[in-house]
Amino acid sequence: MNPQRISFARTLPVLAFLLSFVIGPIPSVAQAPTFKVLVLDALNGKPQPGVRVEYFCPGQGLKPAPEVKTGSDGVAEVPYVCKEGEEVNVFPPGDRAAKEQCGGGPANMKLSDIMTTGIISEPTADGNIWCPAKQRRKLKPVPGQVTIFVKKPTWYQSHIAG
């Protein structure tokens, strides 16, 4: 074997080690913390795939953050981009036959509350269409998750009430 190759092969690790001190550590890119939003049907409790989850930060005006969609398990991974609170609203996929969010959505949630105890929305609250709370009563909050209910509006809800 060529003596120059052997010498180079021995000095390469030493050069790499010394170069790491000159360059320093490579800074890691800080990623926004995330939480999950579970969208369930208010009548049967089944997860709802393909539902757009839009959210915005109350302190930053009405500029919406990027939307995410629920997967086949009804869960969307939402990056927490707000400073103080996060308002999460669920919007149906777009057609008139789509399901709508029940009650008022959880507003001004703090990331610490979401991560430590979890939040379940109240389907009978003022805000969007009224839904029964039967499914909500069966659930317990899951740390790191916000649960929101949707259902197809009744004829009255879609024509008269709202």
- pLDDT given at position 139: 93
* Strand pairing class (145-151; 34-41): parallel
Answer yes or no: CATH 1.10.490.10 is held by domain 34-161: no
- pLDDT given at position 28: 46
- pLDDT given at position 10: 61
- pLDDT given at position 39: 92
Q: Which residue has the tokens 């939402």?
A: 78
Buried b (16+ CB within 10 A) or exposed e, 18-43: eeeeeeeeeeeeeeeeebbbbbbbbb
Q: Which residue has the tokens 């709370």?
A: 133
Query: Cα separation of 151 and 161, whole Å?
Result: 15
- pLDDT given at position 27: 47
- pLDDT given at position 93: 58
Per-residue pLDDT in tens (0 to 9) along the chain, 162 residues: 555 555 555 655 555 555 555 555 544 445 778 899 999 999 999 999 988 887 777 766 666 666 788 999 999 998 887 776 667 766 665 555 578 888 876 767 788 888 899 999 888 887 778 888 889 999 999 999 999 999 888 777 666 655
What are the tokens at 100?
């709508």
- pLDDT given at position 128: 74
- Amino acid identity of residue 29, one-letter, is V
